[in-house]
Chain A
Amino acid sequence: MKYARLVWVNLMRNKRRTILTTISVAAALFLFVALRSVNTTLDEARDVGSESRMVVRNAISVVFSLPEAYYNWLTTVPGVSRVTWGNWFHGIYQDPRDFFPSFGVDVDGYFDIYFEMVVPEDQKQAFLRERTAAMVGTGLMERFGWRLGQTINLTSMIYSPDQSWPFTIRAVYTPIPGWTDEAFYFHYDYLYEMSEWTQPGWYVLELEDPSLAATVATTIDEHYENSRFATRTETERAFQSGMVSMYGNVGLLMNAVGIAVFFAILLVAANAMMMSGRERTSEVAVLKTLGYSDRLLFGLVVIEAAIITVVGGALGVFGAKVLFEGTGFQGMGFLPGFEVKLSTAAVGMAIAILLGLISGLVPAWQAARLPVAHTLRRVA
């Protein structure tokens, strides 16, 4: 502690450089934490689906639909208690950037299976009664400032992009934790009526017992194996995992960007510390004449570097946590439950400390090994 003042005055010697270096570390750690949080959220999204629900989709790709006629037979498969279906609408509100997940669903069965969305009964009934009604998540309502009963117009990137689709918001759902609050649901019948070539995008099955999943999948896929619309049946969790995989290798991309950021900021911090060290060469020599040991000077320089990176890291890491969680960021509904986990914050802070140690290493070593007599002669 008695050396704290010495460390502090050296940090404050060039305030602008110290502040700029701290900000650059904060920005880098903010980015790192955000990227890593996307990864952890996507990883969790794979686990969001239920093991007691299965998804039947087109064997070629989820992009291709399935016949409505499959519904009746699916309800007869042993082990299946309920069947419903949905379709991807890809709706846009006013601006293509105002994207959110939107689905035309079998409203009679869909919300019985999906218990994750809590809706007041009167609103649910109002939603079921009206063909052009929509059920919207709380986050989406807040994002666009919509209100219950309001009529809004969406366009679809899939169904007649030039056509405007009016919807009246009749219900607002509150999700359980981990489920998106930015989804938009409406009647599949409305979709069918406006676009007659529509078929279900996928079927959702509720199982009597999750242990029957393998048998049910085999039964269904074998049944349709030689049909024009062969199926692929998998648990919802596996289906979700497949959907996440459609983003591509996001993890690799995020990690690559994170590593690039780490090295860039390492060079910035190391350069700042080297400059700071060079300016104080004669002072280090003087301290040595006073009896300051190589080890002590080494430690003081490393601590100085670590303070910059730890303060910057804390600003970046906790800034990201406060910002993302305070604004309820969900990546336009694709990253439900997005949060900066404590483990991510801990990794960010560990990186900040590591940055400090590495960036301080060279100037600290130079300070420790400084030839005093030679330096003093040069100064004189």
Chain B
Amino acid sequence: MALLEIRDLSKVYYRDTQKIPVFEDIDLDIEAGEFLVLMGPSGSGKTTLLNLVAGLDEPTTGTISVGGEKVTAMSRRQLAAWRSDHVGFIFQLYNLLPVLTAFQNVELPLLLTHLSKSERRDHVNTALDVVGLSDRADHFPRQLSGGQEQRVAIARAIVSDPTLILADEPTGDLDAKSADEVLTLLQRLNGEFNKTILLVTHDQRAADRGHAVMHLDKGVLTR
């Protein structure tokens, strides 16, 4: 049984009475430990699919299951708790809180757990160590480069040891060198820590790092 199972998934937006279908009847399986790259032109629905998997949006029809749990049947409250336990999200624009240090940003998901302060500190230090930014723990986002900010965001995504890492154009705002570092890091998380990753990108170099690449275009998902 796949870790992520998507069945007959459709998403339709409505503008007044106008129906705007994004995709229809998509099926997708991702095995545990897989690093799948999703490509496609702008507006093809890649981010929408990612949001649906994270339970941030509701499908028009179809089901999504992660680890046997039906995400599409959960309430808002259940989804929040489920995301906290199972999803690590990486954004194109990092989305760190500017008023918090790197350490405090990484600690954010752990505040939702029952971990003690010292346990939280250990987890955060480990995550920052994994991304190679232990020495920047007390720095605010404005004091970091774009690549470093994205690595802090990755530390935040992995600190609670999620089942699934969802990355939305994580290299889209980075120079080639920083992008390469981030992709190497994601590859390491997948290879060394066996993290399941679904990565959305336009970047062919990013696509080359995954186990498999799928294309979403005009509502159709193909390998």
> Measuring CB to CB, which residues of chain A are less than 8 angstroms from any residue of chain B?
2-3, 5-6, 9-10, 12-13, 282-283, 286-296, 372-373, 376-377, 379-380
B63 close to A (CB within 8 Å): no
Least Cβ distance of B214 to chain A in Å?
21
Q: A3-B111, A13-B99 are in contact. Are A294 and B77 (CB under 8 A)?
A: yes
B83 partner residues in chain A, CB cutoff 8 A = 288-291
Are the C-beta atoms of B51 and A287 separated by less than 8 Å? no
Closest A-chain residue to B104, C-beta based? A5
Q: Contact partner of A10 among B54, B57, B99, CB < 8 A?
A: B99
Distance between A293 CB and nearest chain B CB, rounded to angstroms:
4
B84 at the interface (CB under 8 A from A): yes
- Residue with the highest number of chain B CB atoms closer than 10 Å, among A5, A287, A290: A290
Distance between Cα atoms of A283 and B95 in the complex (Å): 7
Residues from chain A with Cβ under 8 Å of B93 in the complex:
379-380
B residues less than 8 Å from A287 (CB atoms) = 108
A379 to B93, CA, bound (A): 9
The proximity string for B residues 90-120 relative to A, scoring 1 for CB distances below 8 Å and 0 otherwise, is: 0111010101100010001101100001000
A-B contact pairs, 19 of them (CB 8 A): A282-B95, A283-B97, A288-B56, A289-B83, A289-B89, A290-B84, A290-B156, A291-B83, A291-B84, A292-B80, A292-B84, A293-B81, A294-B76, A294-B77, A295-B77, A376-B56, A379-B93, A380-B47, A380-B91
16 A-B pairs besides A293-B80, A294-B77 with CB distance below 8 A are A5-B104, A6-B111, A9-B97, A9-B99, A10-B99, A286-B91, A288-B56, A289-B87, A289-B89, A290-B84, A291-B82, A293-B77, A293-B81, A294-B76, A372-B57, A380-B47
Given the interface pairs A291-B109, A294-B77, the reply to whether A286 lies near B85 with Cβ below 8 Å is: no
Query: Does B126 sit at the interface, judged by CB under 8 A?
Result: no
Give the Cβ gap from B20 to chain A, nearest Cβ, in Å.
Answer: 14
Which of A10, A373, A379 has the largest count of B CB atoms less than 10 A from its CB? A373
The 6 tightest CB contacts between A and B, nearest first, are A291-B84, A373-B57, A293-B80, A9-B99, A373-B51, A291-B83
CA distance A291 to B97 in the complex (A): 15
A9 to B99, CA, bound (A): 6
Shortest Cβ distance from residue B221 to the other chain A in the assembled complex, whole angstroms: 19
Expressed in whole angstroms, the Cα–Cα distance for A294 and B83 within the complex equals 13
Tell me the minimal C-beta distance from B216 to chain A in angstroms: 16
The interface of chain B, by Cβ under 8 A from chain A, is 47-48, 51, 54, 56-57, 76-77, 80-85, 87, 89, 91-93, 95, 97, 99-100, 104, 108-109, 111-112, 117, 156, 168
Closest to B112 in A: A291
Chain A residues lying within 8 Å of B109, measured Cβ to Cβ, are: 290-291
In the complex, are the beta carbons of A376 and B51 less than 8 A apart?
yes
Bound form: Cα–Cα A12–B99 in Å: 9
Residue of A nearest to B99 (CB): A9
For residue A301, give the distance in angstroms from its CB to the closest CB of chain B.
Answer: 15
A-B contact number at CB 8 A: 75
Complex formed: what's the CA distance from A304 to B14 in Å?
36
Give A372 to B51 CA distance when docked, in angstroms: 9
Q: Inside 8 A of A5's CB, which chain B residues have their CB? A: 100, 104
Specify which chain B residues have a CB less than 8 angstroms from the CB of A291 in the assembled complex.
Answer: 80-85, 87, 109, 112
With a CB–CB cut-off of 8 A, which chain B residues contact A282?
95
Measured between alpha carbons, how far is A233 from B49 in the docked complex, in Å? Answer: 89
Mostly, the B contact residues are: helix
Contacts of B47 in A (CB 8 A): 377, 380
CB-defined contacts of B100 to chain A, threshold 8 Å: 5-6, 9
CB atoms of A290 and B77 under 8 A apart:
no
Chain B proximity of A275: nearest CB distance (Å) = 16
**Which of B54, B84, B111 has the most A CB atoms < 10 Å from its CB?**
B111
Tell me the complex Cα distance, A283–B85, Å: 20
Min CB–CB distance B15 → chain A (angstroms): 13
| Chain A residues near B81 (CB-CB < 8 A) | 291, 293
Residue of chain A at shortest CB distance from B92:
A380
Q: Residues of B contacting A3 with CB < 8 Å?
A: 111
Within 8 Å CB of B77, what residues of A? 293-295
Measured in the bound complex, the distance between the Cα atoms of B94 and A283 in whole Å is 11
| B120 closest partner in A (C-beta) | A2
Nearest residue (CB) in B for A295 is B77
Name the A residues within 8 Å of B99 (CB-CB). 9-10, 12-13
- Complex CA–CA separation, A372 to B48 (angstroms): 11
Residues in chain B near residue A296, CB distance under 8 A: 112
Residues of A within 8 A of B156 (CB): 290
Bound together, the chains give a CA A291 to CA B95 distance in angstroms of: 15
In the bound assembly, the distance between CA atoms of A295 and B109 in angstroms comes to 16
Give the CA-CA distance A380 to B108 in the complex, in Å. 21
- In the complex, A25 Cα to B212 Cα: how many Å? 59
Chain A residues near B97 (CB-CB < 8 A): 9, 283, 286
Q: Which residues of A contact B87 (CB under 8 A)?
A: 289, 291
A296 to B76, CA, bound (A): 12
Residues of chain A within 8 A (CB-CB) of B92 are 380
Interface contact A373-B48, CB-CB below 8 Å:
yes
Quote the shortest CB–CB distance from A17 to chain B (angstroms): 14
Chain B hits for A294, CB < 8 A: 76-77, 80
Is the CB–CB distance between B112 and A290 below 8 Å?
Answer: yes
